[in-house]
Copies of this chain bind each other. A is one copy, B any other.
Amino acid sequence: MAPSRALFGPARIAVRQFHHPSYNTRQIRGISAYGYEQAKCLVFDNHGEPKNVLRLHGHSISPPHRDLVTVRFLASPINPADINQIQGVYPTKPTWTTALGTSEPIAVGGNEGVAEVLSVGSGVKEVQKGDWVIMRKQGFGTWRTHAQTTMDYLSPIRNKDGLKPEQVGTVSVNPCTAYRMLKDFVDLHPGQWFIQNGANSGVGRAAIQLGKLWGYKSINVVRKRDTGMEELKADLQGLGADVVVTDEEVEKKEFRDKIKELTNGGREPVRLGLNCVGGSLVNSMAKQLAPGSHMVTYGAMSKQPVSLPLSIMIFKQVAFDGFWVSKWAEQKPDEKDACVQEILDLTREGKFKDVPMDRLTWDFNSKQEELVKAVAGTLEGFRSGKGIFVFGET
C-alpha cells in the first residue's frame, strides 16, 4: 500500500479511538487532562540495514511531573545521516535505552523533527501546551509519535505562525548547514561567487536561496542526466541560481574560460566552494577558486576521497575545511537558535522555499511494514523529494 500523501495538520486533533495490537488497553485521544499517551516508535536494537533492523515499538507515557515535558511529533524527516546511524557508520551514536519498556536497550531512529507540547510538569516554565519544539541535539530519536523528555533536549520555536510542520521539522540540518557554510569560512562580498556541487540537494537549494538573498552569485553543479535537465535548471534558476552546470562540464578544460567570463576576468572572484560529492570533481572546482578561497566539505555522496593537489593549497592558499552541523549546534547552541529563527522568519515571509518533499503520513492506521519501507526507500534515492513523516492522528 502506497503511503498516503495527505497532510494532517496539528489543528485537526480529534477524539478517536486508538487501536494497536501491541496494546491491551484502549485509550481515548484528546482527553489531555489525563496526560496518558500511547506512543509508537520506529526502533532498532542492533545496527544493520533499516529494512532488517527497524521495528515498530509501543509504550505508554504517564503524565509529566516536575521538569518533564510530553510532546507529540508533527513532522520528522528521513535524512541520509539517519540511515547511516542505523547502519552504524555514523559518528553520532543513537541513544540506547531501556526506558521505553524493553528488557534489552533499544534506540529510536531519526534525529530531526518538530513536535507539539501536549503537557508539562510543574517545574517547566519555558514552554506550555500547544508550543512547538525542535530537537536541541542529535540522537534524540524523532521517528516516534510521542516522547517524554526535559527541556535540555528541546528548543522552543518562538513563533510558529504561518509555518507548516514540515518547514519547521527540516530547518535544523540542511538550511543551517548552508547558512553557516556561506558565512563562516569566507567573508564573501555581494557580487562575488561561490560554486557548489550537489546543488539540487536540500543544502544546495538552501545555499542558492540564502546566497541570492545576501547578494552572492552561485555556480551550481548537478549530475548530468539524460532527461529532465532543462526542468532541473529552470527549477534551480527559479530559486535564484545564477548558473547551473553539469559535473561533466566542470571537468572539461573549457570551463576555465567560462569562469573567466562569469567572474569578469577574476574581478568578481569565486571565493568559496561547497562540496558534498567528493572525487575528481572537487579538484576541477578547486582549480576555479581564487587565491585564499575555501573549499568546504559537508558530505561525500560519491564515497570517493578527494585527491588534493598540494600546489593549489600551497601556492593559491586554497584551504580545505569540513563542516558538520551537529558539532556546530553542540558547540554554539545560541547561534543555532538564532539561525533557525532567521530561516523560519524568511520562510514565513515567503523568501525561503521548502525543498520538494515526499510526505509519508504516519497515523493510527500505519503499519510497521510501510513505515520501515519509507525509511529503506530513502537509500534507493529515486524519491521525488525529501522523505518526511507527517504525523496524523496517532
Assembled-state Cα–Cα distance A305/B307 (Å): 6
| A320, B319: Cβ atoms closer than 8 Å | yes
| A305, B299: Cβ atoms closer than 8 Å | no
Decide if A313 is an interface residue (CB 8 Å cutoff).
yes
Q: Tell me the A276-321 residues at the B interface (CB within 8 Å).
A: 278, 291, 297-300, 305-321
| A320, B320: Cβ atoms closer than 8 Å | yes
| B305, A309: Cβ atoms closer than 8 Å | yes
- Minimum C-beta distance from A10 to chain B (A): 34
| B306, A91: Cβ atoms closer than 8 Å | no
Decide if A51 is an interface residue (CB 8 Å cutoff).
no
Chain B residues contacting A313 (CB-CB under 8 Å) are 297, 320-322
Decide if A96 is an interface residue (CB 8 Å cutoff).
no
Chain B residues contacting A322 (CB-CB under 8 Å) are 310, 312-319
Decide if A323 is an interface residue (CB 8 Å cutoff).
yes
Chain B residues contacting A309 (CB-CB under 8 Å) are 305
Decide if A383 is an interface residue (CB 8 Å cutoff).
no
Q: How many copies does the complex hold?
A: 2
Q: Which residue of B lies closest to A90 (CB)?
A: B315
Decide if A327 is an interface residue (CB 8 Å cutoff).
yes
- Minimum C-beta distance from A302 to chain B (A): 10
Interface string of A125-159 (1 = CB under 8 A from B): 00000000000000000000000000000000000
Q: Which residue of B lies closest to A314 (CB)?
A: B322
Q: Which of B278, B291, B317 contacts A321 (CB 8 A)?
A: B317
Chain B residues contacting A324 (CB-CB under 8 Å) are 314-315, 317
Assembled-state Cα–Cα distance A179/B97 (Å): 50
Interface centre among A297, A309, A322, A324 (most CB of B within 10 A): A322
Q: Which of B310, B318, B321 contacts A300 (CB 8 A)?
A: B310
- Minimum C-beta distance from A184 to chain B (A): 11
Interface centre among A298, A307, A314, A324 (most CB of B within 10 A): A314
Assembled-state Cα–Cα distance A309/B322 (Å): 11
Given contacts A307-B306, A308-B305, A308-B320, contact A91 B297 (CB under 8 A): no
Assembled-state Cα–Cα distance A299/B313 (Å): 10
Apart from A297-B314, A300-B310, A319-B322, list 12 A-B contacts with CB within 8 A: A91-B315, A305-B307, A306-B307, A307-B307, A307-B308, A312-B322, A315-B322, A315-B327, A317-B322, A319-B319, A320-B320, A320-B321
Interface set of A (CB-CB < 8 Å, partner B)? 91, 278, 291, 297-300, 305-324, 327
A–B Cβ pairs within 8 angstroms, 5 of them: A297-B310, A308-B320, A314-B323, A314-B324, A317-B323
